[in-house]
Amino acid sequence: MLKVAVITISDRAARGEYADRSGPRIREILQQRLPGIEIVQAVVADDKKAIRSLLLKNLDKDYILTTGGTGLSRRDITPEVCARLCDRDLPGISEWLRRESLSETPFAVFSRAYSGQKGNTIMVNFPGSLRGAELCATLMAGIMEHGWAMVHGGGHEKPHA
């Protein structure tokens, strides 16, 4: 059973100015596509120390999926915090998600989302927009079990033709 943390990074959601929609939607998509998945959710402000603390707290999970903080504003620091924490970069994941997101909106070119690995945990940044988070969650659901298997020494089998 996959264990996943879904973390929404948003000043306004953390202050209660609006309801987090992306985090719950990511959870819903993953539960539909990956029966038995165990998911915890959290919301945190765009604050370096708070984000880092929450990421560290969830390193017992197989995946940490963040939503928000990947844009161009000064407060968008999610990729930097994750990159400094991870041991390895996994650029293919973010490149793939950005490429697929471009089919939905040209604004995906502004995403600075990062993917990496810390120990046995894979971290992936999703955009904060509901549509972007939905697309990324749908795509990731199809590869998460394979990624988990690879982290644990398997997953190299070729799919059936």
Q: Looking at residue 158, what is its pLDDT?
A: 59
Residue 55 reports pLDDT greater than 70: yes
CA–CA distances in Å: residue 137 to residues 65, 96, 142, 157: 9, 13, 9, 24
Query: What whole-number distance in Å separates Cα of residue 72 and Cα of residue 111?
Result: 8
Radius of gyration of the chain (CA): 15
pLDDT bucket at 111, cuts 50 / 70 / 90 = very high
Mean pLDDT, the chain, whole residue set: 95
Arithmetic mean of pLDDT, 16-45: 97
Q: Looking at residue 157, what is its pLDDT?
A: 66
Tokens 């100015």 -> residue = 17
Q: Looking at residue 159, what is its pLDDT?
A: 55
pTM of structure: 0.95
Query: What whole-number distance in Å separates Cα of residue 104 and Cα of residue 97?
Result: 11
- Specify the 3-state DSSP secondary structure of 83: helix
The pLDDT tens digits for 129-147 are 999 999 999 999 999 999 9
Other Cβ atoms less than 10 A from the Cβ of 98: the count is 19
CA–CA distances in Å: residue 63 to residues 37, 102, 161: 11, 24, 29
Q: Looking at residue 161, what is its pLDDT?
A: 46
Residue 96 reports pLDDT greater than 90: yes
